[in-house]
Amino acid sequence: MVRTQVQLTEEQAAAVRRLAHAEGVSMAEVIRQCVDQRLRANMPTSEAEIRRRALEIIGMVKDGPGDLSVNHDAYFAEAIMQDGRLD
């Protein structure tokens, strides 16, 4: 680990202290978790993660046309014609 000094506002320090107490961990651990969460949010999503997420949603939608996977182009064209624009 690398020792780092961070300055927090009074409100931030109090909130981190409360969270650390509630979770039974140190304030440093709460801050490390927050940093990790922020870093993960800004990292590009890997191809494996994109595939995992895509596979996870298969079968979630139960309504709509049963032939959408076959006739998607026709449905898309119909939607474009109804809307009157392609933008």
Task: List, for residues 29-61, the tens digit of each pLDDT value.
Answer: 999 999 999 998 888 888 898 888 888 888 777
CA distance 13 to 7: 9
pLDDT of residue 15: 98
Helices (H) then strands (E): counts for the chain: 4, 0
**For residue 87, what pLDDT band results from cuts at 50, 70 and 90?**
low
User: What is the C-alpha to C-alpha distance for residues 15 and 13, in angstroms, rounded to an integer?
Assistant: 5
Residue 86 has pLDDT above 60, yes or no: no
Share of the chain above pLDDT 90, in %: 47
| Total count of residues recorded for the chain | 87
Contacts of 19 (CB under 8 A, 6+ apart): 30
Region 23-32: mean pLDDT is 97
